[in-house]
């Protein structure tokens, strides 16, 4: 057991020699007009502050901007498009064979608010500094939004007539829950009996292997999302003047409850076989013996691995339901004892755990009837999407992401399924597709991740070029891929000829 512990710790520190690390972009060259379109879109303050409260003027402007700057998409006889609930955008690019199940590419129009004072550059000026575009939304997710639009515009301009129908959906309030954007889009698609082969949404990025000290690049593709429960804790006790305090105060009791929750996290779920175990199993295919043996047996080795992984922030979040204290309210004056104290707990729920189990854990840990619990919001974990095809199971979405990444990065990265921690609009689509994938095709290193939703969000011009390239190849690959499971006589054309006869070189 001591040797095995040493082996695991060593594994967390080694640098894998089995996977090349050089990033190679494809040959597509970004032109100045595409950069300026992107910058102009970033300058629009499409902020969403809270559910139902967003910058309506900016959202109207970005809709008009997109319509005016992508004329081929909007005027093609193949395209039907509409505004949904005033601000969200939905496109249908009709395929040549209506029997084939369509797929959907999605991103969102809105961004989170900014604190302009802590930015090095104004967050809505989209200034270019040392080849980096500084702007709110540069990563999350206007880069994907405009990358999809540029790719689709280019294909249609080149005369592409896709075999299967392609939907594009851009919600306007993802950052505030998606109730007025994605939810309304889904209602419309359900009303029209649309069933999607797969959905490609925002999610994780390419990064340097975040859980091991490797030089390898890794692309983690979200095949599920953790659930979320926000729970209000409240305590009401007699107040009064600070000069004559009671033995216990509402603030003290609630602080003690919070301390208990932070000191007693929910147990690891490694032994339950969720998406985290799937990720380790897939990772083993890239890692040589003896470490692959550990990864292939994570469930059985969980008693040992739990302690090792708990010390890593990312691994800890992968393997359990997490507990974060996000808000605390109490007191009105510095010499008055508060009668009430309230706090908000944010749980990100592991896919193998239920809300009832989480609440029971909280109740048992706090063990104080004076602390009342109230559920403010709950979103259950999403089902796990298909990630590995077999003779009877088709996983076109994941395979197309894999193959497109191999094309763009020349195979020089690990590609792993993962359970996404943040919530995305894609969770609203679970009733119209069994296969949802969450990924942004750009590189964000772990030490840079705080810029997303934080100050100095930025993207390099080269990285934006890669995003366009990715979606350009993805759309072409999807049109010549024959493992959707709904084809009769469709065969893959490895030269990548489009319906119009133009040629692309895609090595599927």
For residue 141, whether the previous peptide bond is cis, meaning omega lies within 30 degrees of 0, is: yes
Looking up tokens 């489009």 gives 498
Averaged pLDDT score across all residues of the chain: 87
Domain of residue 341, CATH code: 3.30.70.360
pLDDT, one tens digit per residue, over 468-485 is 999 999 999 998 887 777
DSSP letter for each residue of 228-286: EEEEEEEEE---EETTS--SS-HHHHHHHHHHHHHHSPPPP-GGG--HHHHHHHHHHTT
Q: Are residues 189 and 234 in the same domain?
A: no
Q: Is 22 a member of any domain?
A: no
d(CA 104, CA 202) in angstroms, rounded, equals 12
Q: Three-state SS across 340-369?
A: EEEEEEEEEECCCCCHHHHHHHHHHHHCCC
With beta carbons less than 8 A apart as the criterion, state whether 219 and 439 touch: yes
Domain for residue 294, yes or no? Answer: no
Indicate if 143 and 156 belong to the same structural domain.
yes
- 45 and 175 both lie in a single domain: yes
**Phi, psi angle pair for 285, to nearest 5°:** -70, -20
The answer to whether 197 touches 101, Cβ cutoff 8 Å, is yes
Same domain, 197 and 250: no
Is 6 a domain residue?
no
Listed in sequence order, the residues at least 6 apart from 93 whose beta carbon sits closer than 8 Å to its beta carbon are: 73, 76, 78, 79, 152, 156, 162, 165, 166, 167, 168
- Highest average pLDDT, of 15-29, 76-90, 374-388, 420-434, comes from 76-90
Catalytic residue, from 140, 174, 175, 362: name it: 174
Buried-exposed string 240-250: b where 16+ CB fall within 10 A, e elsewhere = eeeeeeeeebb
Q: Is residue 283, in this structure, part of any structural domain at all?
A: no
282 neighbors 339 (Cβ within 8 angstroms): no
User: What's the CA gap between 159 and 76, in Å, rounded?
Assistant: 10
Full residue range of the structural domain in which residue 358 is found? 227-266+321-379
Mind listing the pLDDT tens digit for each residue in 57-93? 999 999 999 999 999 999 999 999 999 999 999 999 9
User: Is position 306 within any domain?
Assistant: no
Q: Are 298 and 270 in contact (CB under 8 A)?
A: yes
165 close to 100: Cβ distance less than 8 angstroms: yes
Domain assignment of residue 337, yes or no: yes
409 and 375 in a common domain: no
Residues 416 and 428 in one domain: yes
Domain CATH code at residue 47 = 3.40.630.10
Instruction: Please indicate, yes or no, if residue 272 is contained in any of the structural domains.
Output: no
Q: Is residue 496 part of a domain?
A: no
Q: Do 82 and 109 reside in the same domain of the chain?
A: yes
Asked whether residue 344 falls in the same domain as residue 409, the answer is: no
pLDDT of residue 27: 56
Same domain, 66 and 112: yes
pLDDT band at 51 (very low <50, low <70, confident <90, very high): very high
Rounded CA gap, 167 and 93, in Å?
6
Report how many domains make up the chain. 2
Residue 433: C-alpha distances to residues 194, 428, 460 (Å): 9, 10, 33
The answer on 235 and 120 residing in a single domain is no
**DSSP secondary-structure letter at 177?**
T
The pTM score is 0.86
Same domain, 92 and 56: yes
* Residues 84, 154 share a domain: yes
Residue 493 bears catalytic tag: no
Active site residue 486: no
């Amino acid at each position: 057991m001591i040797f095995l512990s040493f082996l695991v710790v060593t594994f967390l520190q080694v640098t894998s020699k089995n996977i090349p690390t050089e990033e190679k972009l494809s040959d597509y060259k970004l032109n100045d007009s595409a950069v300026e379109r992107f910058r102009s879109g970033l300058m629009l303050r499409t902020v969403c502050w809270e559910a139902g409260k967003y910058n309506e003027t900016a959202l109207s402007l970005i809709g008009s901007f997109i319509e005016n700057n992508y004329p081929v998409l909007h005027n093609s006889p193949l395209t039907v498009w509409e505004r949904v609930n005033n601000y969200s955008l939905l496109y249908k690019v009709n395929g040549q064979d209506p029997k084939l199940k369509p797929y959907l590419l999605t991103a969102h129009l809105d961004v989170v608010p900014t604190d302009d004072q802590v930015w090095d550059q104004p967050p809505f000026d989209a200034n270019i500094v040392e080849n980096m575009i500084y702007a709110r939304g540069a990563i999350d997710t206007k880069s994907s939004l405009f990358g999809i639009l540029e790719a689709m515009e280019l294909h249609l301009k080149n005369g592409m007539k896709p075999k299967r129908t392609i939907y594009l959906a851009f919600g306007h309030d993802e950052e505030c829950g998606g109730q007025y954007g994605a939810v309304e889009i889904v209602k419309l698609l359900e009303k029209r009996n649309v069933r999607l082969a797969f959905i490609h949404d925002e999610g994780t990025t390419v990064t340097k292997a975040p859980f091991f000290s490797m030089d390898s690049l890794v692309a983690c593709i979200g095949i599920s999302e953790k659930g979320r429960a926000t729970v209000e804790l409240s305590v009401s006790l007699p107040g009064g003047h600070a000069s004559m305090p009671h033995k216990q105060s509402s603030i003290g009791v609630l602080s003690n409850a919070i301390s208990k929750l932070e000191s007693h996290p929910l147990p690891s779920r490694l032994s339950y076989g969720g998406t985290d175990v799937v990720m380790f199993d897939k990772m083993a295919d890239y890692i040589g013996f003896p470490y692959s043996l550990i990864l292939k047996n994570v469930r059985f080795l969980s008693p040992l691995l739990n302690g090792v992984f708990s010390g890593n922030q990312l691994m800890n979040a992968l393997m359990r339901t997490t507990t974060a204290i996000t808000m605390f309210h109490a007191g009105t004056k510095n010499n008055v004892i508060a009668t009430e104290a309230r706090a908000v707990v944010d749980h990100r729920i592991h896919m193998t755990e239920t809300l009832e189990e989480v609440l029971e854990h909280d109740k048992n840990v706090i063990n104080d009837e004076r602390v009342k619990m109230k559920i403010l919001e709950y979103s259950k974990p999403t089902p796990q999407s298909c990630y590995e095809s077999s003779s009877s199971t088709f996983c076109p979405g994941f395979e197309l992401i894999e193959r497109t990444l191999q094309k763009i990065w020349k195979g020089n990265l690990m590609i792993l399924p993962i359970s996404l921690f943040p919530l995305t609009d894609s969770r609203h689509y679970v009733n119209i597709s069994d296969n949802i994938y969450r990924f942004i095709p750009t590189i964000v290193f772990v030490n840079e991740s705080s810029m997303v939703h934080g100050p100095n969000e930025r993207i390099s011009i080269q990285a934006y070029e890669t995003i366009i390239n990715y979606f350009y190849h993805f759309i072409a690959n999807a049109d010549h891929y024959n493992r959707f499971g709904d084809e009769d006589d469709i065969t893959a054309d490895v030269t990548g000829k489009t319906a119009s006869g133009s040629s692309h070189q895609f090595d599927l």
